[in-house]
Amino acid sequence: MISIGIQFLFARINARMIQESAYSLDLRLAEAITASFEALPDLIKEHMGGDFEPQNPIAAIIAQAMAKKLNPALEVTEVKRGLDGKFSTGEN
C-alpha cells in the first residue's frame, strides 16, 4: 500500500515537472519566433541588397496577359439528346 502511495506521489511530481517544462518551452519558442519575425525585414535588406522595389505596372499587365494566354476560358457547348436517346448536334 505504501509502495502505491509513493508511486502516485512520484507520478504527480513528474506530471507537474513536465507541465512546467512544457510551459517554459512554449514561452521560449514564442519569444524566438517573435524575435525572428521582427528581424526579418533587416535580414532581407542585409542579404538582398536593400528594399524590394514596387512592381512595374507594365510587367504586371504582361504577366496577366500571359496567364490568360496559358489558361484560356473554357467554352461550354450543350449537347442535347434526341427522342431516340442519341446525342444530337442540334441541326435536326
| pLDDT tens figures, 39-48 | 877 777 777 7
pTM of the model: 0.41
Domains of the chain by residue range:
2-72
| pLDDT tens figures, 14-68 | 999 999 999 999 999 999 998 888 887 777 777 776 666 778 899 999 999 998 8
From residue 62, give the alpha-carbon distance in Å to each of 52, 55, 58, 74: 20, 12, 6, 21
* pLDDT over 90 at 12, yes or no: yes
**Is residue 74 within 8 Å of 82, Cβ to Cβ?**
no
